[in-house]
Amino acid sequence: MNARSILIISLGLNLVLGTWVGAKLWRAPVSPAAVPTSDVPVARSLPLWSLAKTNVIEVSTNHVDPTRFRWASLETNDFEAYVANLRGINCPEHIVRHLVMGEIEALYAERITDAERSGSFWETPRQRRMREGQTRREQIALENERREITQRLFHVPWSLKAEREWVTDENACLIIGFIPDEKAMRLVDTVMRLETQARFFNEETDHIVIDTDEPRLEAMLVEAKVQMEFGLSPLEVEEATLRGINLAISFMDGKSLVGVSLTGDELRRITAISSRGKDFITLGLRAELDEERDGEKNIQEIMMQLSPEAEREIAGLLGPQKFAAYVRSKDGAFREFAEIGSRLEQPLPLEVTVKAYDIRRAAEAAVRQLNSSEELSGEQKRAGLEGIRRETEQSITAAVGATAAKEFFRQDRGWARTTFGARGAKR
């Protein structure tokens, strides 16, 4: 699952909410320093940092003469001066931002790559971890430096990569498409940063979180959740979470609502009821950071679980008939039969598949009762199983036809074998 596993769980999980699930933010936003403004921007050259690499020899701000315009007269390796030069010729702000942010990101991508250190073949595992840890710290520092620069110059806490992701990622739009673009891009950027943090944390712990790692892990979870929700209203967090949960569930079990028709309002309310009291954002973050103990399977189980109170509330919402169809749609046995019925040359109507499913459930209940009997001998139980098997085959054949019945018993990956034993599965 990558909902960006879960913007919900991740808000996903790759949220939730990984699920994308969610939204994920690691570093607290830096308050942007005010960039001086005036009616006519004045190009200035301020020493922001020292760069080892540049395609311009001099660090200077150039006077622009419109009558003798040269692009080279605008360029400088002082990014603040470069921005001022572009604004000084009335270059549209969105073009200024893309031009300069693109150059900043390209420069820092190269510097981050250059921070990689090759190890010697004789280094010990401890030396290797120390070297890799130092590299990661330097790369994070460079990334933070890049973010501070773009935020100071443009007041945007996201990268161009996050902006491109927001434009192209359909799942992101499904989860947070209702919020303004600026909030959405910050949230996407948050998810991307958390992925990097999770990768570094997993590498440092060798994907095994032990008790001594727990305090650091808990601190990361708290900080990440705060940053994920930063700038969003409680209603926006709730809406994104509900959307992320639905998307994550669809990734995990795309046919979970087969055979039941729900309105958008019903689906939303059911999601809200079933997720009540479950912190999917933290669950998704923990799954990203502690894969061994809090993996995706655990989250799937938690997402699918319904408390008795939630079941009663959903039953009241849907009514007896629709609730029965809803519960049936959650049963893997029914989805198994529905999938087989849909693959036939002449697909089975839903009501016919329901009949076959009901026969199967009745047979399974009869087998459980037979096996639990303490009065019958082993031979009597085997004879009883064979009788139930024959009756089940006859009943399903009568309900769906011989061709479909043959498919039910052959291609369902062993329900007959599981229910009646090896003989029942042979055809």
Q: Determine the pLDDT at residue 120.
A: 78
Q: Determine the pLDDT at residue 191.
A: 84
Spatial separation of the C-alpha atoms in residues 381 and 375, rounded to whole Å: 10
Regions of the chain short of the pLDDT cut 50: 1-61, 295-296, 412, 424-427
Residue 56 DSSP symbol: -
Biggest CA pair distance of the chain: 106
Q: Which residue has the tokens 């944390």?
A: 201
Contact 14, 6 (CB under 8 A): yes
Identify the helix (H) or strand (E) that includes residue 394.
Answer: helix 378-400
- Nearest residue to 329 (alpha-carbon basis) of 416, 272, 261, 268: 261
Q: Determine the pLDDT at residue 28.
A: 32
- Nearest residue to 244 (alpha-carbon basis) of 202, 221, 213, 278: 278
Q: How many CB atoms lie within 10 A of CB 319?
A: 9
- Nearest residue to 271 (alpha-carbon basis) of 331, 319, 314, 321: 314
Q: Which residue has the tokens 């016919």?
A: 352
Spatial separation of the C-alpha atoms in residues 248 and 256, rounded to whole Å: 12
Q: Determine the pLDDT at residue 422.
A: 59
Note the Cα 249 to chain centre separation in Å: 11
16 forms beta bridges with 9, 10
H helices of 74-178, in order, are 79-88, 93-114, 125-154, 160-168, 170-176
- Nearest residue to 299 (alpha-carbon basis) of 261, 244, 223, 370: 244
Q: Determine the pLDDT at residue 60.
A: 46
Contact 270, 314 (CB under 8 A): yes
Q: How far is CA 348 from CA 48, 351, 352, 400, in A?
A: 70, 8, 6, 8
Q: Determine the pLDDT at residue 193.
A: 83
Handedness of CA 181, 186, 191, 193 (dihedral sign): positive
414 forms beta bridges with none
Q: Determine the pLDDT at residue 57.
A: 36
Spatial separation of the C-alpha atoms in residues 322 and 190, rounded to whole Å: 40
